[in-house]
Structure 1
Amino acid sequence: MSLTAATRSETTKQFSTVMWWLLAVVLAVYVGSTAAALGFVYAAAATGSLPGDAPPLPEDGLAGLLYSTATSVGYVFPLLIGTLMVTGEFRHKTLTPTFLATPRRGLVLWAKILVGVLLGVLYGVIGIAVSVGASVGFLTGFGVDAELTSVDIWAQFGRMLLAYVLWVLIGIGVGALVRNQVGAIVGVLVFTQFIEPVARLAAAFVEGLPEVTQYLPGAASDTLVGASVLAMSMSTGDAGTMEWWAGGVVLLGYAVVLVLLGHLFSWRRDVS
């Protein structure tokens, strides 16, 4: 079977289940509600509309910060769909007929990567659309420039799409390396929702540590995008020293290493 046929088979396989659109709906609700809440608070703070003595936020860069909600809080969804693309096959034993039809296992993995790129773009478009849609209303309502005609904002959107694609590929690597679906999902959630956020928060209070934690995958993703509501809420600011492209290289490195390790140590093993 050729790569084209294997990719067509993987596309049919992924889009014939409910998981991809179910995660997409949760992504839209989660990112949209978060962006709306932050849009109201940040836009009100930028215009001095909050009650009490709350310090005002600068309007410059506020739009890009709110739009980055799609990646800074939504990156776990492309990571999960990439993981499920592989672990679901092990769980439901569908890899056995797949490998019988395509004995070249590397070809199957490449097909999954290509479909993962497609899913990353799709999820990225959804995440960006809902974060922008939820933020623009509050920005314009409080008289803050939404910056939708800015070249820099559209460049940020492009980097956000790239981040989504890379997170799906990282998920594929995790799924290939950790065959157990429950274990892989729990590991992903624990790392992304607890271990890394706590490490980055602690780094803000230890001199020299932000230069280390900037190489964590979530931090690298934020660097690639160029804005992060998570970094701002943790008061880490721009503690890292990497350029946006270096963040992309680090994130790509995670994807490549995990996929290679998965291929070498798990993907080629017998499938029961």
Structure 2
Amino acid sequence: MTAILAAEWLRLRTTRGAWLLLAAAQLIIVLGVSGLMLRGDNLADPGVQQQAVAHLGLVSLFTLVLGITAVAGEHRHRTVSDTYLAVPRRARVVLAKLAVYTAAGLGFGLAAAISALSSTAVWLTVRGETIQFDNTDLWRTVAGGIAWNAVFAALGVGVGALITNQIGAIATALAWLALIEGLVGQLIGDARKWLPFALGSALDRLPTATDGPAQWVAGLVLLGYAAAFTAAAVLTTTRRDVT
């Protein structure tokens, strides 16, 4: 298993797409924080500062895509057959990808936290204010946003294993988060707070998630989603003909 993990890690860090996603995520954070700071009035308000830092959770969309490419990308580039020939126990391959890309999602989250905190602090200094590092809610948002990035990377691995067409998998995942989840939420009422993006918002403590579950509950349910997708991915992958 150690050799599989090492191979996956090598594949990840030598893939240009992963670095491009990481860079794009930081740019999105800086732009989001800048937009909030430019139009904000009471920047000394802890809630406004928390909302600025919460942008780190929104880039979980990038880790979702990263996780999808872990499996679907191999199908796209037709390297999956070689991978399974080298490691006939396909479940081990899926679990190795899950471990490596979840760790990568955690790394994305940490980098995003640094970008969000630093850009928020810079803008507050420019506007004559200071960031309130002693605000407990601020750090809960940071922790939740980092976790959101990690869990969505794990979800992405499951989605990529279930939908092996990379473009189709990414389009389906983003369409669900951007459109379908909103439409489904209107049909199921209060139950919408248990859908993946809503749970991520609650984990990140976004202002839009004030009626959602507690942060720790949201985290556990998201982990449940990740576990379910992983189980389905392992079952499907071990039975699928990839030739």
Secondary structure of residue in 1 paired with 2:133: coil
- Equivalent position of 1:40 in the other structure: 38
1:106-185 to structure 2, matched below 5 A, reads: 106-185=91-170
- TM-score norm. by structure 2 comes to 0.91
Match of 2:53 in 1: 67
1:132 alignment partner AA: L
Paired amino acid for 2:148: A
Counterpart pick for 2:176 among 178, 191, 198: 191
Is residue 173–residue 258 contact of structure 1 (8 Å, CA) maintained in 2?
yes
Q: Determine helix, strand or coil for the equivalent of 1:61.
A: helix
* Aligned residue pairs, count: 243
Tell me which of 227, 230, 234 is aligned to 1:263: 234
Equivalent-residue separation in structure 2 for 1:100 and 1:260 (angstroms): 22
Cα deviation for residue 199 of structure 1 reads: 5.7
Compared CA separation, residues 131 and 196, structure 1 to 2 (3 A): farther
Q: Which of these residues, 190, 213, 222, is aligned with residue 201 of structure 2?
A: 222
Say if 1:198 and 1:68 are closer, same or farther in 2 by CA, change over 3 A: farther
- When normalised by structure 1's length, the TM-score is 0.82
Structure 2 residue runs without a partner (length 5+)? none
Deviations 1:73-115 (CA, angstroms, capped at 9, x unpaired)? 3121000000011100111121111111111111111111111
User: In structure 1, what is the equivalent of residue 68 of structure 2?
Assistant: 83
- Determine the C-alpha separation between the residues in 2 that align with 1:129 and 1:17: 23
Mapped contact 2:63–2:156 kept (Cα < 8 A): yes
- Does the alignment pair 1:213 with 2:198? no
Distance 1:109 1:155 in 2: 31
Using the TM superposition, name which of 124-133 and 161-170 deviates more. 124-133
Structure 1 pair 177/90, CA: closer, same or farther in 2 (3 Å)? same
Letter aligned with residue 69 of structure 1:
H
Q: Which has the larger radius of gyration?
A: 1
Question: Partners in 1 of 2:238 and 2:153 — Cα distance?
Answer: 17
Change (3 A) 1:74 1:174: same
For residues 227 and 144 of structure 1, do their structure 2 counterparts lie closer, same or farther at Cα, with a shift above 3 Å needed? farther
* 2:229 partner amino acid: L
SS in 2 for 1:213: helix
Question: Which whole-Å CA distance do the structure 1 matches of 2:50 and 2:175 have between them?
Answer: 28
Percent identity of paired positions between Structure 1 and Structure 2: 28
2:211 maps to which residue? 239
| Aligned 8 A contact 1:59 1:144 in 2 | no
- Partner AA of 2:211 in structure 1: A
8 Å CA contact 2:90–2:237 kept in 1: the answer is no
* Alignment root-mean-square deviation, CA: 2.1
Task: Kindly state the Cα deviation for residue 143 of structure 1 after the two structures are TM-superposed.
Answer: 4.0
Determine which structure has the larger helix proportion and give its number.
2
- Aligned 8 A contact 2:56 2:146 in 1: no
